[in-house]
Amino acid sequence: MNSISDREWDAAAYDVLADPQRTWGRAVLDRLPLRGDETVLDAGCGAGGLTAELLERLPRGRVIAVDASRQMTALTRERLEPRFGPRIRVLTADLSSLELDSAVDAIFSNAVFHHVADHRTLFGCMYRALVPGGRLIAQCGGGPNLVTVRAHIAAVAANDPLLAPLVGWDGPWNNADADTTAARLRSVGFCDIETSVTPAPVPFADTAHLRAHLTTIILRSHLHLLGPEPAQQHLLDGVIARMAADQPPLTLDHWRLNISARRPAA
Ligand SMILES: C[S@@+](CC[C@H](N)C(=O)[O-])C[C@H]1O[C@@H](n2cnc3c(N)ncnc32)[C@H](O)[C@@H]1O
């Protein structure tokens, strides 16, 4: 079960279970116009699956892949350095205090920003990481993301003494709305801003697959907070039972915040 620190992810398990994130990420890549010779920051690269697809779109370019989790950056390095050599550089760092040696032409980010508490500080760092005229194209949880699942977590926790540490806690996420995000991007200097929040429900064929996804991705921080195994099982059992009774059943009610912005040309 989950014994790693809250900053850490089980990178190998994530890589196997992250099909929804990969599907979303490919749509984000399609929104990023590239000549093929740029240097692009992958902000929150995770296990590196999408980083590889980004590099394939940059035959003469480079990617700087940054993630706060050492397990994630270790797996990304192991997979991508032999294949892409000097065209990939992997850094373990917090995006909210990121300082690069030289600015990048564009920033790609998929399923990351809702894990960051202070978006204004984050966007300021992203702005300073870009060359004048450079683009930020990103997607993350936003708006009513996982409202149903969050209600299930609260209901299960309220009725089980083992889950007391979760009572009153709405999870580790910062699901911002489109207008607030646009205002924050504008406040740090971005222009040509487009933001939207769109539904992206993810159904699961059976409880085993849902349980694995919840354990490694969605409830990672909750399970870490709970600590002992019996409490973790209570949470997973309770949430899955409620999700089985939902309409549609066994479906994560994801909503995605889509971001497109540009640093003004000098
Ligand atoms: C759901 S995964 C997405 C990974 C990858 N972009 C993908 O789409 O598969 C979220 C990632 O964001 C990273 N992350 C969260 N907060 C971060 C921060 N403040 N700085 C850097 N990385 C962060 C996590 O370590 C994790 O690898």
- Cβ(216) to ligand 1 under 6 A? no
Q: Would you state the pLDDT for residue 6?
A: 78
> Given the CA of residue 11, which atom of ligand 1 is nearest to it?
27
Instruction: Render each residue's pLDDT in the chain as its tens digit; 266 residues.
Output: 333 457 899 999 999 999 999 999 999 999 999 999 999 999 999 999 999 999 999 999 999 999 999 999 999 999 999 999 999 999 999 999 999 999 999 999 999 999 999 999 999 999 999 999 999 999 999 999 999 999 999 999 999 999 999 999 999 999 999 999 999 999 999 999 999 999 999 999 999 999 999 999 999 999 999 988 899 999 999 999 999 999 999 999 999 999 999 999 97
Residue whose entry in the numeric block shows the structure tokens 């971005």: 190
**Residue 67 near ligand 1, beta carbon < 6 Å:** yes
Indicate the number of domains in the chain. 1
**Ligand 1 atom showing the smallest separation from residue 122 Cα:** 19
* Rounded Cα–Cα distance for residues 31 and 29 (Å): 5
CA contacts within 13 A on the Cβ side of 237: 10
pLDDT on residue 5 = 58
Ligand 1 centroid, distance to 18 Cα (angstroms): 12
pLDDT at 132: 98
Return the CATH number at 203.
3.40.50.150
pLDDT at 228: 80
Range of the domain at 54: 11-262
Task: Please work out whether the CB of residue 21 comes within 6 Å of at least one atom of ligand 1.
Answer: yes
Q: Is 1 inside a domain boundary? A: no
Place of tokens 């993301």: 145
Within-domain flag for 4: no
In a domain, 238, yes or no: yes
Q: How far is the CA of 224 from the centre of ligand 1 (A)?
A: 17
Does 5 map to a domain? no
State how beta strands 191-199 and 130-141 pair.
unpaired
Whole-model pTM: value is: 0.97
Four-residue CA torsion sign, 138, 143, 148, 153: positive
Q: How far, in Å, is the centroid of ligand 1 from the Cα of 44? A: 4
Q: Give the per-residue pLDDT at 229.
A: 85
C-alpha 46 to ligand 1 mean position (Å): 5
User: Does residue 2 form part of some domain?
Assistant: no
Please report the pLDDT score of residue 1 as a whole number: 34
Q: How far is residue 19's CA from residue 21's CA, in Å, rounded to a whole number?
A: 5
- Judge if the beta carbon of residue 88 lies within 6 A of ligand 1: no
Within a domain: 43: yes
Question: Has residue 3 been placed in a domain?
Answer: no
CA–CA separation, 56 and 187 (whole Å): 34
